Structures are given as structure tokens and as C-alpha cells.
């Protein structure tokens, strides 16, 4: 489902080929998103048709207008022709205003529905997907592609409804005036067929590549803005600016190529129009000179033909725009078609009562980069604290991901209280877990909303969690206390403050299983002592699993599991492991000697 993105060395979400063709993609879009806005779209299309028809009316009214001016006996037609032309322009203005409002309303809703559907689907995908696809590319896929599609739809619908009707009306006028002149005017149109087909194919390929390049631009911005401190401290502003310019240059080249392909069809129409005009002017001037046609008839025909080539140019571009829209829809469907690997079981079982034991039984897990866990087996006893330690890359954080079913193992079982996690409903499984990670995830909402995170409002419990986590220590310094906004990704808070908010969230959740991944890593010594005491009180009667690199924080754990290269190499209490003199003892000696 994902193909390599060679420009970045990463994988990018792409559909697995255009299975079923363009019709299938168009039907997917219509049935899933556009059909529910059919009423608005139809009303807008009807008003566009009225707007287009007025152009044909103006072309027809040119004959009585000119004949009324030039012919002595035709003066009576002049007045009503002027009034009719003025009325046509008023009708065109009203219809144009109405269709614009209606279509914008429909297209914005369709784009919003598309974005919401993609976002809902993305939030159900597992860790493997997010390791393969950077956030910036996904942001551009959800937001950028939908906005680009909305703009294309506006041109396509207007081209088909307004310009199509205008073209039919104007050619109807031309045929009414003289079929032979009309045939001469369009004699070169068949020459456009093959070049237009080639241009459409080029445009579709170019749009796909341009949107991928746009995703790389957004990804780079995302990386730089999230790592701005690192960039500034390393003095690599110039390097990052250069990389950004290179990404922009690649995107610009593809955009220019796409615009050139889109402009090619109208340009070819203009060339054909020049041939047609030359033929009509040559032949028509002879007929007028011979008295076979009046000046008014010629002017009406010439006006209708002149006006017809503008909608013809736009309709020629519509085919290319349709290919561009299909390319965007392919990319969007690529997201929606990505399989949801983590789902509720067909026959879920009830969650185990009380604090459960956590067991890994021969668990094997690998990402694309290689194996992470290799037959991992251990037991974290119910109601007790178990610590997992080991060098970086040992697979410790993956243990938490498998317990919460953010990913599923390729082999082996993970159980809570003897119940395999894959047999539990996701909501019930994750409702059993309180998690504090070293990567604190805060949202641009108030501190109170970040702590509650969907939990029922309870002022007393909120106050307890705030105090126990040490959040109350810095609340007086904030402008609005708990109602202070945390900022995007918690940027209004320091690292230690963000960590304490996350701990308060876990305390408030009060689940039977507590997962702590370096939960006090960002705290100063004094605050760490207070929070550690609160966590130990919370752990009483609960099954607690702790990941820690600082071994001083896990010495009082009931059991310590030592991992290396995805396996358990040692287990026991702090004292037992020191006496063993193995990996744990060496890690302790290294850390405590550095301290």
C-alpha cells in the first residue's frame, strides 16, 4: 500500500494502483462525500446554466441591434434589443452571484467532510503507519489535497454547467445564422483530440508528483519548527534554509510543469480558433459583399463565435482539471484504503476485574527496520510494581505499545489478568490504563482540559490530582491558573511543567494499570521526590509497570526486569540483581559513578 518516497528515503501513503479505473474513484467520491450535498450542487449548476445561457442570448440579440442601427426599416427592433441585452446582463449578474454562494457552501462542506473522514481514519492507524509517514506529509495530505480539490471542483463544475451551456447556446446561434460558417469555424477542432489526451496524462502524473513534493515541503517546516531550539543551538539555520529552498525548488518545478500542461489545451484551442476565424472572415465577407447576408447577421454570428471560444477554451481545460482532481482523489483514497490493523475483536470478552497481572508470552515484534522484541517473556504481578530497565533500543517502550494495542505482535501473546489484549474492546482495554510518557502530549487547550482529557468533571478529584502531581506549585505564576492555555504541544509550559500536567492526568484517570515511561524525567530533584511519593501512593493496589533509564528511581520496585536486544536477560529485586553482577549491576555502577 505504501511506496518508497525516494526523495526523502521514507514511505508515503499512496494507493495500490488505480484498481477499477477513474470511474471507481469518481463513484467513491460521489457516494461517500458529494452525494449528500447534491441539492446545493444541483441548485448551483442550474444557476450556472442560466448564467451561461445569457451569453447565448446576448450573441443572438446582436443581429436586431445592428440591423436596427444600419437598416432604415429596422429601427423598431433597436429599442427592444437594447432592453433585452440589458436584461440579460442583469439576469447574468443575479445568477452568477447565487451560484457562487451556493457552490462555495457545497464545496466547503464536501472538503470538510473529506478532511474529517481522513482524520478519523488516520487516528485509527497503528504505529507502523506513523513510523512510515511523517506528520508534515500527512498534514498536507489531509489539508492541502482537500483545499486543492475544492478549487479544482469549482472550475470543473463551472466549466461543465456554465461554460457548457454557454457554448451550446452560442453555437446554436451560430448554426441559426449560417451552418456553413459554423462548419468553417470548427474545421480544425478534430486536430485537438490526440494532443489533448497526451496533455491530460502528463498533467495527472505531474499533479501527483507536485502534491508529494508539497508534502515534503510541509514535512521540512514541521521538523524545523518543532526542532527550532536544536537548529539554533547547532547554528544550522543556513543549512535548514538551504534544504527548504531545495524542497521549494522541486515543488516549484513541478507546479510550473503542471501549469504549463494545464495551459496547453486552451492555447491549442486558440490556434484552432485563429484558423476558424480566418476561414469565416474570408468566406463571410464575400457573402456580405454579394448581398447574401446582412451586416447584422454577420455581426451576430461573429459575436457568437467570438464569445464561444472563451467557454471552449475553459471546457478544453476542464478535461485536464478532471485528471488533476482524479490524481488528488487517488491520494485521498490511498489514506482511506490503508487497512486498520488494530480493531475490536469480533467476539470481545469482558475485561478482567481488579488490577490484573501483565504477561508477555514469547512475544516477537518487528518494525520495517528490523526486529525489536525476540520471544519476550515476563510476568508483572497484579497489584505490584514492576520496572523494566535496559540500554536504549532494548525494546522497553515497545512493551507499552503492545499492552495498549498501539501495535500487535507478530507472534506470542500479551495478556492482562489472563485475558489476551486482542480479545478486549479497544475502549475497554485502554480504559484500564493510565499512562505517563517521557514524550508528554499536551494540546492547545486549558490546563484543566489537558488534565481531564475527557474524564467527567469532579472538582475535588481535580484538586487532588493537581496537588499530588505538583501542578499547584506553579499555578500562581500562570495568568489564569488552570484556565491558562497550554499552547500548541504545550509550548506555554516548561518541560517540567508539562510532565507534571501529564502526571496529574494519569492520577485523575485512576485506572487499574499504571504505565510510567520515564514519568519524572523532566523534574527537578525536589519536585521529583514529591511526585514519586504521589505515584507510589497511586500504585498501591494497582499493577504498575515502570520504564526507567535512571535506575535510582526503580530501586524500590517489587521486581526489576532487565532487557537487552528485545529479550529478558535478568530479573529480580534491586539487591538480587546487584548480587548477580550482570548487566543491571554494570548499568548501576556506570550511573552511580557518574553521579
Distance CA 525, CA 496 (A): 11
Of these ranges, 192-206, 326-340, 371-385, 461-475, the one predicted with the greatest mean pLDDT is 371-385
First to last CA, the chain: 49
pLDDT at 592 over 50: yes
Both 319 and 367 in a single domain? no
Q: What is the length of the chain?
A: 595
| pTM metric for this prediction | 0.71
Mean pLDDT of the region 71-92: 68
Rounded distance between C-alpha atoms, residue 404 and residue 414, angstroms: 10
| Residue 317 and residue 409 in one domain | no
pLDDT tens-digit readout, 519-543: 776 667 776 777 677 677 777 788 9
CATH number at residue 499: 3.40.50.300
H runs (alpha helix) in 369-420: 396-403
Query: In this predicted structure, what is the pLDDT of residue 549?
Result: 78
Domain membership flag for residue 353:
no
Predicted confidence (pLDDT) at residue 71 exceeds the cutoff of 60 = no
Of the three residues 303, 336, 369, the one that is the final residue of a domain is 336
Confidence band for 376, pLDDT divided at 50, 70 and 90 = very high
pLDDT higher at 573 or 314: 573
Average pLDDT over residues 287-303: 62
Q: Are 101 and 108 in contact (CB under 8 A)?
A: no
What is the spatial distance between Cα 335 and Cα 2, in angstroms, rounded to a whole number? 10
- CATH code of the domain containing 87: 1.20.1560.10
Higher-pLDDT residue of 41 and 54 is 41
The C-alpha atoms of residue 394 and residue 561 are separated, in whole angstroms, by 12
Contact 79, 69 (CB under 8 A): no
79 shares its domain with 128: yes
Same domain, 375 and 283: no
Residue 95 covered by a domain: yes
Shared domain check, 416 and 277: no
Does residue 595 carry a pLDDT above 60?
A: no
**Number of domains, the chain:** 2
Q: Are residues 322 and 380 in the same domain?
A: no
| Residue 34: domain span | 14-336
- Asked if residue 320 and residue 394 are part of one domain, the reply reads no
pLDDT surpassing 60 at residue 76: no
CB 134 within 8 A of CB 222: yes
The answer to whether position 347 is within a domain reads: no
Residue 404 counted as domain residue: yes
Q: How far is it, in rounded angstroms, from Cα 157 to Cα 18?
A: 24
Query: Residue 344 domain-assigned?
Result: no
pLDDT at residue 362 above 90?
yes
Residue 4 has pLDDT above 90, yes or no: no
Percent of the chain with pLDDT over 90: 13
pLDDT of residue 274: 67
Residue 515 lies in a domain: yes
Mean pLDDT of the chain: 78
Mean pLDDT of 563-589: 89
Mean pLDDT (whole number) for 388-399: 84
**Does one domain contain both 325 and 386?**
no
Torsion of CA 263, 269, 271, 276, to 10 degrees: -170
437 assigned to some structural domain: yes
**pLDDT tens-digit profile of 184-212?**
666 656 666 667 667 767 777 787 787 77
Give mean pLDDT, residues 327-348: 87
Provide mean pLDDT across the span 374-388.
92
Q: Which of 340-344, 365-369, 575-579 has the lowest mean pLDDT?
A: 365-369
Q: Is the per-residue pLDDT at 25 higher than 90?
A: no
Same structural domain for residues 284 and 221? yes
Percent of the chain scored above 70 by pLDDT?
76
Please compute the mean of the pLDDT values over residues 484-498 and round it to a whole number.
81
Same domain for 286 and 388: no
Q: Is the pLDDT of residue 379 over 90?
A: yes
Answer yes or no: do 432 and 575 share one domain.
yes
Range of lowest pLDDT (7-16, 248-257, 387-396, 504-513): 7-16
Q: CA 215 to CA 254: how far, in whole Å?
A: 13
Tell me, yes or no, whether 8 lies in a domain: no
Mean pLDDT of 226-238: 70
For residues 380 and 285, membership in a common domain is answered with: no
Amino acid at each position: 500500500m505504501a511506496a518508497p518516497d525516494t526523495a526523502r528515503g521514507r514511505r508515503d501513503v499512496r494507493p495500490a494502483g488505480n484498481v477499477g479505473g477513474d470511474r471507481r474513484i469518481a463513484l467513491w467520491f460521489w457516494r461517500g462525500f458529494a452525494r449528500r450535498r447534491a441539492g446545493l450542487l444541483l441548485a448551483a449548476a442550474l444557476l450556472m446554466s442560466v448564467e451561461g445561457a445569457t451569453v447565448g442570448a446576448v450573441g443572438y440579440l446582436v443581429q436586431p441591434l445592428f440591423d436596427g442601427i444600419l437598416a432604415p426599416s429596422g429601427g423598431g427592433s433597436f429599442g427592444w434589443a437594447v432592453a433585452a441585452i440589458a436584461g440579460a446582463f442583469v439576469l447574468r449578474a443575479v445568477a452568477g452571484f447565487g451560484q457562487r454562494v451556493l457552490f462555495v457552501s457545497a464545496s466547503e462542506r464536501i472538503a470538510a467532510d473529506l478532511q474529517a473522514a481522513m482524520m478519523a481514519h488516520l487516528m485509527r492507524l497503528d504505529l507502523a503507519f506513523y513510523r512510515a509517514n511523517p506528520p508534515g506529509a500527512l498534514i498536507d495530505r489531509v489539508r492541502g489535497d482537500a483545499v486543492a480539490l475544492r478549487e479544482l471542483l469549482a472550475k470543473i463544475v463551472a466549466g461543465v454547467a456554465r461554460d457548457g451551456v454557454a457554448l451550446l447556446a452560442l453555437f446554436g446561434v451560430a448554426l441559426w445564422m449560417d451552418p456553413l460558417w459554423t462548419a468553417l469555424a470548427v474545421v480544425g477542432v478534430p486536430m485537438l483530440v490526440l494532443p489533448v489526451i497526451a496533455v491530460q496524462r502528463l498533467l495527472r502524473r505531474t499533479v501527483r508528483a507536485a502534491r508529494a513534493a508539497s508534502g515534503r515541503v510541509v514535512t521540512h517546516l514541521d521538523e524545523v519548527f518543532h526542532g527550532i531550539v536544536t537548529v539554533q543551538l547547532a547554528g544550522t539555520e543556513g543549512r535548514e534554509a538551504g534544504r527548504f529552498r531545495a524542497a521549494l525548488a522541486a515543488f516549484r518545478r513541478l507546479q510550473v510543469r503542471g501549469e504549463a500542461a494545464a495551459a496547453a489545451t486552451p492555447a491549442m484551442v486558440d490556434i484552432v480558433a485563429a484558423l476558424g476565424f480566418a476561414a469565416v472572415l474570408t468566406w463571410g465577407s464575400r457573402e456580405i459583399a454579394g448581398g447574401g447576408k446582412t451586416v447584422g447577421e454577420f455581426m451576430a454570428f461573429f459575436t457568437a463565435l467570438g464569445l464561444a471560444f472563451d467557454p471552449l477554451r475553459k471546457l478544453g481545460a476542464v478535461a485536464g482539471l478532471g485528471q488533476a482532481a482524479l490524481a488528488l482523489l487517488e491520494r485521498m483514497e490511498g489514506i482511506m484504503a490503508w487497512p486498520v490493523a488494530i480493531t475490536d475483536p469480533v467476539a470481545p470478552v469482558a475485561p478482567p476485574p481488579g488490577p490484573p497481572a501483565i504477561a508477555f508470552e514469547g512475544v516477537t515484534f518487528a518494525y520495517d527496520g528490523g526486529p525489536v522484541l525476540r520471544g519476550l517473556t515476563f510476568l508483572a504481578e497484579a497489584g505490584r510494581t514492576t520496572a523494566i530497565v535496559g540500554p536504549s533500543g532494548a525494546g522497553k517502550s515497545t512493551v507499552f505499545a503492545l499492552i495498549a494495542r498501539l501495535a500487535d505482535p507478530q507472534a506470542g501473546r500479551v495478556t492482562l489478568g489472563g485475558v489476551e489484549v486482542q480479545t478486549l474492546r479497544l475502549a475497554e482495554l485502554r480504559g484500564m490504563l493510565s499512562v505517563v510518557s517521557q514524550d508528554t502530549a499536551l494540546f492547545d487547550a486549558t490546563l484543566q482540559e489537558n488534565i481531564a482529557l475527557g474524564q467527567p468533571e469532579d472538582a475535588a478529584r481535580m484538586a487532588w490530582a493537581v496537588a499530588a502531581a505538583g501542578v499547584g506549585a506553579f499555578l500562581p505564576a500562570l495568568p489564569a491558573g488552570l484556565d491558562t492555555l497550554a499552547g500548541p504541544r504545550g509550548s506555554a509550559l516548561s518541560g517540567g511543567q508539562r510532565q507534571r500536567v501529564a502526571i496529574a492526568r494519569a492520577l485523575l484517570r485512576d485506572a487499574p494499570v499504571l504505565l510510567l515511561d520515564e514519568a519524572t524525567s523532566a523534574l527537578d530533584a525536589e519536585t521529583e521526590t514529591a511526585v514519586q511519593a504521589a505515584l507510589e501512593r497511586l500504585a498501591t493496589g494497582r499493577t504498575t509497570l515502570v520504564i526507567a533509564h535512571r535506575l535510582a528511581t526503580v530501586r524500590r520496585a517489587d521486581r526489576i526486569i532487565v532487557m537487552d536486544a528485545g529479550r529478558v536477560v535478568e530479573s529480580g529485586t534491586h539487591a538480587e540483581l546487584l548480587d548477580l553482577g550482570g548487566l543491571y549491576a554494570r548499568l548501576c555502577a556506570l550511573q552511580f559513578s557518574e553521579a
